[in-house]
Structure 1
Amino acid sequence: MALAVCVVVRYRKAVTYGVHALLAALETAKVEHELRLGTTPEETAEHIKATTADRVITLWSFYSPDAEAMAAELATVKQLSDGRGLHIAGGVHATAEPQQVIDAGWDLAGIGEGESTIISLVRALQDDAPLTSVPGLAIRDSDGVALRTRPAPQLPLDAFPSFVGRHGPIEITRGCRYTCRFCQTPFMFGGQFRHRSVASVREHVRSMVDRGLRDVRFITPTSLSYGSPGPDPDLDKVEELLAGVKEELPPHGRVFFGSFPSEVRPEHVTPEAMRLLKRYVANDNIIIGAQSGSDKVLAASGRGHGTSPVRDAVRIAVEHGFRPNVDFIFGMPGESPEDQAQSLALAGELADMGARIHTHTFMPLPGTPWRDAEPAFIPLSTMSELDRLAQRGDAYGHWRKQAEHAARLAETAKAYPRRTKRRRTS
C-alpha cells in the first residue's frame, strides 16, 4: 500500500507562478497527495504539524536576493514544527547554488525545471523509494556535500500546464537564446526557445473564462520572439497567438502582451509589430529592455544590440500610442563613470521622448556568467540624477534595495567559489 504524502507549500506572492506550475504537474499526472498552503512561516509550521500523512514534504521557492530571508524562515518553521518532514528548495537560486541551500538547512535542492522532479519525488515518498532515484535533486551526502541525482528532462512546454484550477499569466515561452551575462533565464531553462502551442494557450484561456476571468497575460523572456526559433520575430505566429486568445475571450475580455510580467527586445519594436499589437492588446505600455546607454557595456554584457535600436524602439512605440517602460541596469561590471554618464544621458533623452525609466542595480546573480563579477561603483552623482528622474515622474524602481542585495550576493559568492567538479549519484 502506498504511503500517504502531504505536500505543504510555503506560499508567497513573489513565486506563485512557478508554484502553480508544480501543483498543476502533480494534478495532471494524477499523483495522490494532500495539499496545504502556508502563507506565513507560522501557518506553514501548523500545516506540517496538523497533517496525518505518513510523509510530509515542504516546498520552498525563492530568488537569489531572498535566499537569506528564506533561510531564516526555514529555521523558524523547523523549530515550530518540531523538525517534521523534508524541506526542498527550488527555483533559480537552488538550481545555481545547491550547496548553499543545503548548508542553509534545506534537506533537498531542486535542480532545473521542477515539474518532472516533483512528480517523481512525491511518488518516491509514496513508495518509500530512495530519493537518489528522483531526477533533478541535490541531496546532502554523508560528508555534507550536495550530491546530485541525474538531470531532470527539459520537456516541450505543452507537457505540463501553467496552472490548473488557479489563475495567473500563461507561460508561452521557456528558455532564451540570448546570452545576457547578468541573466539567470538561459542558465535555468536553456539557451533555446521552447514555445507553448496556440492550442494549449487557448485551452488555458477557456479554463480562465469558465471561472469568470477576462484578462490574459503571459510569461515569456521576450514577447515578440513567440513562435520563432531564432533572433528574428515571426509576426505571423504572434498574430496567430493573439487572434486565438481573442477568439476564446468574451467581448469584454482583454489581452496584455509585451507588458508586465514580460518585455520586448528593442530591435523587435518595428512599426509592423506595433500595428499588430494595437489590433489585439489592451495595454497602453510596453516594457523595453535597454539595460545601458553605453555601447561598450552592452557589448560586454552580451545583449546583442546597441543603443541605436533603443532610441528607435522608444520613438516607434510612442508614435503608435504606447508608453515605453525602459529597463536600465547601473553598476554592471567594468562600467566606467563615462559609461554611467552615457546611460544617464540616454535615460533623460528617452524620458523626454515619452518613456519612463525602470532603474535597476546590477546584481551578481548565481548561475550567470557574471556571478563572480565585481559590481561597478555607483557614485553619489549618479544616485542624485536617478533620484531627480524619479522625482519628476520619469523613473521608478528599487535600485537602492537591489544595491544592498548585490553586496550580500557578492559576499556569499566569495564564500562559495565555483566548483569545477560535481558529484552525482550515478
Structure 2
Amino acid sequence: MGGCDLTLILRYRKAVTYGHHVLLAALEEHETATAYEVVFAETAAATVEAIRAAKAAKVLVLWSFYSPDAAALAEELAGIRAAAPGAVHVAGGVHATAEPVQTLDAGWDIAAVGEGESTLLSLVDSAGDPAGIQGLVYRDEHGTLQRTGKAHREPLGTYRAFPLTYKRINPIEITRGCVYACRFCQTPFMFSARFRHRSVDNVRWHVDRMRERGLRDVRFITPTALSYGSQDESPNLAAVEELLATCKEGLGPDGRVFFGSFPSEIRPEHVSREALQLVKKYCSNNNIIVGAQSGSDRVLDAAKRGHGVEEVKRAIRLGVEEGFRINVDMIFGMPGEDQEDVDASLTLARELAELGARIHAHTFMPLPGTPWRDAPPGDVDPETIRAVDRLSQQGALYGHWQRQREHAQRLAAAAEAYPRPGRSRTLLPIRPSPEQVESPANP
C-alpha cells in the first residue's frame, strides 16, 4: 500500500455501512489530483493494522455513528490511538453533526457537520488538510476551535446512492430530509425539514446497475415512504406508482420490490386502501412498518407528530384488511408522559396486537440535535415493563427497548455536561387534577 498521498481507512461497521457507501459513491466519480487508497477496516484490530501499514503522507480514519453508540466508540478510539498513533480521525453522521465539540472532546480530530459527500471530496482534494473546507469543526495547531459551517446540500441524485467500484450495493435512498419535524427525531434537523427526492430516472439507473450484477431485490431508504414525490404532508400516489412501476419493469419478472418495509416506514395518516393496493400490485413485501409512537393524543401533539391515535387505528385496520402484517413503532417514556398516557399506549398496543399487528417497542432517548435533546431520559416504570414483557412473550412485541433505556441515561448525562443556553425541555403541560377540572373556575 504505497505510492499515494492519502490513505482513507473506513471504520466499517454493519450499523452504518450505507453512510460509508454514499461517500464512496461520490468519491468514485470525482476527479482529483490526489493519489489515494481506500481500506475497509471491519474491527478495531483491523483499523490498527491498516494505520500501521499505511505508507501515505496522510492517513484519515473515517467514522460514522449514531448518538447511542458514541460512548462505546470513543473507548474504542482511545485504544486505537494508543496502539497506532499518527492517523487523523474524522467523525461524521448525525451525532457529530449535532454535537461536534463533544465529539472532539471524546477524542476525534475532526467532526464533519451535515451531509458528507462534498466535504469528503474537498478533503481528498486537499490531501487531508481541513483548512478552509466547509462542513468541518476542528481545533487548529493552536488549539483554537474552527467552525466552517454546514456542508453544501446538493440535490438528491447529484451523487450515486451506492458505489460500483467497491461492489457495495445497498437500498436506494429515494428521499432525504423530512417535513415532519418530530421533536424526538434527528433526521429533519440534520438534513433540513424539507424533502429532497431522487428522480425516477435516477432510481431506474441504479436498478439497472443492480440487475446487471445479478441482484433481483430492491429496497429503499426514506424517512416516510409514501411521501415520495411530495413537498408537503400530502402523499403523491402518482409519483409513488411511477417509481414502483419503473423499478418493477427494470428488475424483470423475477425481480422483487420492497416498499414501506425495512429500512423505511409509512406514516399512519398516509395509509389508504389505494396506497396499499399500489404496494400489493408492484411489491413483494407482505408486511409494512407504521410509525405510531404513542397511544396518547396528548403525547403525539407535544411530539409534533402530525397525526392522532385514530389515524393509527385506521391504518392498522386497513393494512390487515388488505392482507399485510403490520409492524407498529411505539416509544415508551416520552418526555412529560404521565400514567394516563402510559396506560393509553399499552391499551393501544394490546388493541393493535389483537388485530394481528406486532409492536416494535422503543424507549425514548434524548437525541442530540433534536428539540428534546435536553429532556429527561425515557423512564419506564416496573409495571409498564411487566406489561410490555407480557406482550413480548405472546409474540406481539419486539425490539431493543431495554437496551435503549441504558443508552438514554448516557445521552442525558452527556447533555448535562454540554448544556445548551436557552434550551427548554419542551415537556407536556401538566394534566390538571380532577379537583381543578371540576372547579367553578374551570367550567
- What TM-score bracket applies, with the shorter chain setting the length? over 0.9
Q: 1:14-69: per-residue Cα shift (whole Å, max 9, x none)?
A: 00001100111111113442010101111011111112112111100000000011
Letter in 2 for 1:9: L
Letter in 2 for 1:182: F
Which residue in the other structure is 1:210 paired with?
212
Which residue in the other structure is 1:319 paired with?
321
Change (3 A) 1:247 1:386: same
Which residue in the other structure is 2:42 paired with?
39
- 8 Å Cα contact 1:97-1:367 kept in structure 2: yes
- 8 Å Cα contact 2:299-2:337 kept in structure 1: yes
- 8 Å Cα contact 1:8-1:57 kept in structure 2: yes
Which residue in the other structure is 2:196 paired with?
194
Which residue in the other structure is 1:4 paired with?
5
Residue among 54, 58, 66 paired with 1:55: 58
Structure 1: distance between partners of 2:288 and 2:31: 39
- Paired residue secondary structure (1:157): coil
Deviation at 1:162, TM superposition (A): 1.2
Q: 1:116-160: per-residue Cα shift (whole Å, max 9, x none)?
A: 00000111126xxx5221110001146756421133111100101
Which residue in the other structure is 1:349 paired with?
351
- Paired residue secondary structure (2:367): coil
Which residue in the other structure is 1:160 paired with?
159
Which residue in the other structure is 2:115 paired with?
113
Structure 1: distance between partners of 2:405 and 2:273: 37
Structure 2 unaligned runs (5+)? Answer: 423-443
Structure 2: distance between partners of 1:177 and 1:375: 25
Which residue in the other structure is 2:361 paired with?
359
Structure 1: distance between partners of 2:310 and 2:187: 25
Structure 1: distance between partners of 2:195 and 2:270: 16
Number of residue pairs matched? 416
Change (3 A) 1:372 1:143: farther
Change (3 A) 1:56 1:143: closer
Q: With structure 1 as the length reference, what TM-score do the two structures score?
A: 0.95
- 8 Å Cα contact 1:5-1:55 kept in structure 2: yes
Change (3 A) 1:152 1:419: farther
Structure 2: distance between partners of 1:152 and 1:375: 30
Residue among 99, 124, 127 paired with 1:125: 127
- 8 Å Cα contact 2:379-2:405 kept in structure 1: no
Q: Where does 1:169-248 land on structure 2 (aligned, <5 Å)?
A: 169-248=171-250
Q: Where does 1:126-145 land on structure 2 (aligned, <5 Å)?
A: 130-141=129-140, 144=143
- Paired residue secondary structure (2:157): helix
Which residue in the other structure is 2:283 paired with?
281
Structure 1 unaligned runs (5+)? Answer: 421-426
Structure 2: distance between partners of 1:159 and 1:303: 30
Letter in 1 for 2:132: S
Structure 1: distance between partners of 2:158 and 2:182: 27
Aligned-residue RMSD, C-alpha: 1.5
Q: 1:290-333: per-residue Cα shift (whole Å, max 9, x none)?
A: 00000000000000001000000000001111111000000000
Q: With structure 2 as the length reference, what TM-score do the two structures score?
A: 0.92
- 8 Å Cα contact 1:3-1:125 kept in structure 2: no
Deviation at 1:110, TM superposition (A): 0.4
Which residue in the other structure is 1:370 paired with?
372
Deviation at 1:344, TM superposition (A): 0.1
Deviation at 1:71, TM superposition (A): 0.6
Residue among 307, 310, 313 paired with 2:312: 310
- Paired residue secondary structure (1:131): coil
Deviation at 1:3, TM superposition (A): 6.4
Structure 1: distance between partners of 2:387 and 2:356: 18
Q: Where does 1:382-401 land on structure 2 (aligned, <5 Å)?
A: 382-401=384-403
